[in-house]
Amino acid sequence: MYLSLSVATRPVKSPLRSHGIHSDPKPVVCHAPIDFLRPPWCKLRRVIDLGALQIVLSALAGWQDRQEREAVAYLIEENRLLRRQLGKRRLQLTDDDRRRLAARAFRVGRAALRDIARIATPDTLLRWHRQLIARKWTYAKGAGRRGTLVEIRQLIVRMATDNPTWGYMRIQGALENVGHRVGRTTIRRILKAAGLPPVPQRPTSWQTFLKAHWGAIAAADFFTTEVWTRRGLVTYYTVFVIDLASRRVQILGSTPHPEVVFMQQVVRTMTMAEGGAVSPPDVLICDRDRKWSGEVRRQLRHAGIHVVLTPARAPNANAYAERFVRSIKEECLDRLIPLGERHFRGAVAEYVEHYHGERNHQGLDNRLISGPGTIEMTARVRRHPRLGGLLNFYERAA
């Protein structure tokens, strides 16, 4: 920084004055730095201030670095204790967890990760980071074409499964009927990838086989109920038969003593010509309970009913009967206390009527077994309760 000084001078005699020309004296201007005006102790104070500031900043930086190191050491120790309590069980990480760890790991570096990484190895964390970058720069293609291809593939597999005798050309023609033009080689490749062999070796599914015999197959089973009587808590055994096609159920009897005489009565009730809700079937599926003894199976065979025993401990092999047992227990019997045999039989009879005419069945496209009549939309909705409101049915008033 400079300071301008003006110095006044005396006029100097000039030779021009004798010729009538006068010249005014002008100040002499000189430029000099301003520092020479400051005392020496000002410069010393400025040097001391800068040094003190550097010392304070270094102390703050060292304190901050020491705090961060202590925090990291604490977190590492806490992580070690948690991992010891976790034992050999693996942590279940989501994709978001992996992304966050990968982003942090890339900033830390491989060398530092070897000392602090505990959940995953440094190579795994860096691999997650590379996958994160690849996912960022991977652009999804349009979903229209892919959705169409998935639909066609599913349709081809469905046609081959539902129709075991259809060859590639037959499936190709069926696809053209719904607006898809697919080559024979493409159909063969899709079926091969789905594990479906050519026509001569393609098996018939159980669902197709059973539906082909609907109306001729029925299933039978027992379920138990604890009933309070004068003698205390007594176990009642109830046997029923269900038609697989219509889902109609017929209760064949209930007794606390399912012995030979009772089973003979069950056979007579089942083989009664057109006398019950379920017609005598051609094939009867039942489990390997000892109640279905050889004598009982012989009597059924003489009546023209072929008995098929399910594998041992395989309730799914008699799924329709097991589903009815679950329904009657969850919706009715488990929600009341049977007080005597009459109360128990009445509850079972009420549920069977509700099951046939007032309960929608998912296996029948959520319809009633006995379809409703004409619905008048202008009439009000009313409720039909059974068993005091345990079972309810809603319909339009006639």
49-90 pLDDT tens trace: 677 777 777 777 777 777 777 777 777 777 777 777 777 777
The alpha carbon of residue 106 and the mean position of all alpha carbons in its chain are separated, in whole angstroms, by 32
Confidence at residue 21, expressed as pLDDT on a 0 to 100 scale: 46
With a cut of 70, list the residues of the chain below it in pLDDT: 1-49, 110, 114-120, 122, 125, 138-148, 206, 273-275, 373-374, 398
Confidence at residue 117, expressed as pLDDT on a 0 to 100 scale: 65
The answer to whether 241 and 249 are in contact (CB under 8 A) is: yes
Distances (CA, A) of 32 to 28, 247, 349: 13, 115, 121
Confidence at residue 28, expressed as pLDDT on a 0 to 100 scale: 47
Tokens coding 116: 């602090």
Confidence at residue 29, expressed as pLDDT on a 0 to 100 scale: 47
- The DSSP secondary structure of 212-239, one letter per residue, reads HTTTTEEEEEEEEEEEEETTEEEEEEEE
Confidence at residue 5, expressed as pLDDT on a 0 to 100 scale: 44
- Give the whole-angstrom CA distance, residue 320 versus residue 244: 7
Confidence at residue 276, expressed as pLDDT on a 0 to 100 scale: 72
Q: Enter the DSSP assignment of 339.
A: B
Cβ atoms within 10 Å of 30's Cβ, excluding its own: 11
The answer to whether 265 and 249 are in contact (CB under 8 A) is: no
The answer to whether 256 and 230 are in contact (CB under 8 A) is: no
Phi (first) and psi of residue 272, to 5 degrees: -65, 125
Nearest 5 degrees, angle CA 231-CA 234-CA 236? Answer: 140
Confidence at residue 147, expressed as pLDDT on a 0 to 100 scale: 54
Tens of pLDDT, residue by residue over 179-224, are: 889 999 999 999 988 888 888 777 777 677 777 788 899 999 999 9
Q: Are strands 232-243 and 217-229 parallel, antiparallel or unpaired?
A: antiparallel
The answer to whether 303 and 296 are in contact (CB under 8 A) is: no
